[in-house]
Amino acid sequence: MDAERIDARVRELFARPSEEAPYLAAVFVDPCELSFRTFENIVPLDRLFTDTPLAFELTRPVELATGAYSFSLQLPAAARTCLERLDALNLYVPPLNSGSRGGERFIFHSALLAEALTAAVGRAAPQEVREGFSHVNPVFRCNRFEPGDTNFHRHRDTPYYDAERKHVSRYTVLLYLTGGSAAPALDLTGGAALADIEPFTCVIFDQRYEHEGAPYLDGRKVFLRTELVFTEPELTHDPEIGALFSKACYWTGESVFAPELARHADAYYNQVAAAHWSGLTAGTDPEPFVHKHFRSVHFVTNGYDFWFTRSDTLSLAECAAIALLDYFNCKLGDTAFRTLCQSEVVEADNAVWIPAYLRARHSESALLPVDKSLLFPVSEDPDVSGCCPFHSYETFDSTRDAEIVDLYVQAQDFAMAHVMPAPIVMLGEDVLLDPAKFLIEGNAIHVLGKESLTPVNFAACWNAGGVPQNYIDVAATVGVAHFLVPPILFSETDGCHHLQFDFFRNSWMVKHQQATVPVPMVQRGIFDDDDDWPWVAAVDRSLIPDGESPRWWAENPESARELSDTFTEYEEYFDEEDDD
Helix orientation angle between 559-579 and 402-419, rounded to the nearest 10 degrees: 40
Residue 418: its pLDDT value, please? 81
C-alpha–C-alpha distance, residues 247 and 268, integer Å: 8
Name the pLDDT band for 331 (thresholds 50, 70, 90). Answer: confident
CB atoms closer than 10 angstroms to residue 445: 23
Q: Average pLDDT in the 26-34 region?
A: 83
pLDDT at 471 exceeding the cut of 70: no
The domain 40-231 is classified under which CATH number: 1.20.1250.20, 1.10.10.10, 2.60.120.620, 3.20.20.140?
2.60.120.620
Residue 227: its pLDDT value, please? 95
> Do 407 and 523 meet the contact criterion of CB atoms below 8 Å apart?
no
CB atoms closer than 10 angstroms to residue 14: 15
For the segment 382-422, what is each residue's pLDDT rounded down to a tens digit? Answer: 776 666 666 666 667 777 778 888 888 888 888 888 888 88
> Do 423 and 321 meet the contact criterion of CB atoms below 8 Å apart?
yes
Share of the chain above pLDDT 70, in %: 82
CB atoms closer than 10 angstroms to residue 29: 9
Of 332, 353, 326, residue with least CA distance to 253: 326
Residue 508: its pLDDT value, please? 27
C-alpha–C-alpha distance, residues 452 and 11, integer Å: 31
pLDDT at 437 exceeding the cut of 60: yes
Lowest mean pLDDT, pick from 293-302, 424-433, 551-560: 551-560
pLDDT at 236 exceeding the cut of 50: yes
Range ranked top by mean pLDDT from 32-36, 107-111, 327-331: 107-111
Distances, alpha carbon 85 to alpha carbons 59, 95, 138, 140, 226, in Å: 23, 21, 18, 15, 18
Lowest mean pLDDT, pick from 66-70, 286-290, 354-358, 490-494: 490-494
Q: Average pLDDT in the 78-107 region?
A: 87
Q: Report the Cα 523 to chain-centroid distance in Å.
A: 39
pLDDT at 153 exceeding the cut of 80: yes
Q: What DSSP letter does each residue of 205-253 carry, written as one string? A: EETT--EEE---SSS-EEEEEEEEEEE-TT----HHHHHHHHHHHHHHH
| Beta bridge partner(s), residue 520 | 474
Of 230, 222, 115, residue with least CA distance to 171: 230
pLDDT at 578 exceeding the cut of 60: no
Residue 410: its pLDDT value, please? 85
Residue 158: its pLDDT value, please? 81
Residue 107: its pLDDT value, please? 93
Residue 464: its pLDDT value, please? 44
The 3-state secondary structure of 267-305 reads HHHHHHHHHHHHCCCCCCCCEEEEEEEECCEEEEECCCE
Residue 9: its pLDDT value, please? 93
For the segment 49-66, what is each residue's pLDDT rounded down to a tens digit? Answer: 998 999 999 999 999 999
Distances, alpha carbon 130 to alpha carbons 117, 127, 133, 134, 544, in Å: 13, 5, 5, 8, 44
Residue 224: its pLDDT value, please? 98
> Do 300 and 371 meet the contact criterion of CB atoms below 8 Å apart?
no
CB atoms closer than 10 angstroms to residue 549: 13
Name the pLDDT band for 456 (thresholds 50, 70, 90). Answer: very low
Residue 371: its pLDDT value, please? 85
Name the pLDDT band for 564 (thresholds 50, 70, 90). Answer: low
For the segment 200-223, what is each residue's pLDDT rounded down to a tens digit? Answer: 999 999 998 999 999 999 999 999
The better pLDDT of the pair 139, 370 is held by: 139
| Beta bridge partner(s), residue 109 | 44, 139
Question: Which amino acid is located at 76 in the chain?
Answer: P
The better pLDDT of the pair 396, 230 is held by: 230
Residue 376: its pLDDT value, please? 83
C-alpha–C-alpha distance, residues 314 and 309, integer Å: 8
Mean pLDDT of the chain, nearest integer:
82
C-alpha–C-alpha distance, residues 184 and 372, integer Å: 64
pLDDT at 580 exceeding the cut of 70: no
Residue 416: its pLDDT value, please? 84
Lowest mean pLDDT, pick from 71-80, 372-381, 486-495: 372-381
pLDDT at 453 exceeding the cut of 50: no
Lowest mean pLDDT, pick from 199-208, 441-450, 476-485: 476-485
Paired sense of beta strands 104-109 and 42-44, if any: parallel
Name the pLDDT band for 293 (thresholds 50, 70, 90). Answer: very high
Residues of the chain with CATH 2.60.120.620: 40-231
Residue 196: its pLDDT value, please? 95
Beta strands of 120-220 (E only): which ranges? 133-136, 139-145, 152-155, 161-162, 167-176, 180-188, 193-197, 201-206, 211-213
Lowest mean pLDDT, pick from 109-123, 306-320, 343-357, 467-481: 467-481
**Residue 444: DSSP 8-state:** E
Q: Average pLDDT in the 419-436 region?
A: 82
